């Protein structure tokens, strides 16, 4: 994995929270990441430690397995505040 994976300057990766908004996907990483989207969007969520290394991750499709539109979810697939 690249050591230059900081999300602040990357147009594809979002830091801490992101919204796919019907674009098909969003990738969010951070200490407490959360993502949301529209039906059919894929949510890729990665939790980082204090060094920016990924320690856990989750992948969810909006509209399946109880993942609802326009609701933020964390890496565990539970609603995130």
Give the separation between CA 38 and CA 25, rounded to whole angstroms.
9
Query: Which candidate, 37, 3, 34, places its Cα nearest to that of 16?
Result: 34
pLDDT beyond 60 at 9? no
- Give the per-residue pLDDT at 11: 57
Question: Within its chain, how far is the Cα of 78 from the centroid?
Answer: 12
Q: What is the pLDDT of residues 22-64, one digit of tens each?
A: 889 999 999 999 999 999 999 999 999 999 999 999 999 999 9
**DSSP, res 22:** T
- Beta-bridge partners for 19: 36
Which residue is it, tokens 């994976």? 5
């Amino acid at each position: 994995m690249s050591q230059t994976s900081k999300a602040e300057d990357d147009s594809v990766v979002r830091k801490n929270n992101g919204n796919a908004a019907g674009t098909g996907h969003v990738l969010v990483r951070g200490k407490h990441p959360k993502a949301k989207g529209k039906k059919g969007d894929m949510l890729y969520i990665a939790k980082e430690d204090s060094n920016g290394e990924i320690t856990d991750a989750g992948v969810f499709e909006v509209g399946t397995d109880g993942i609802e539109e326009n609701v933020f979810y964390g890496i565990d697939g539970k609603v995130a505040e």
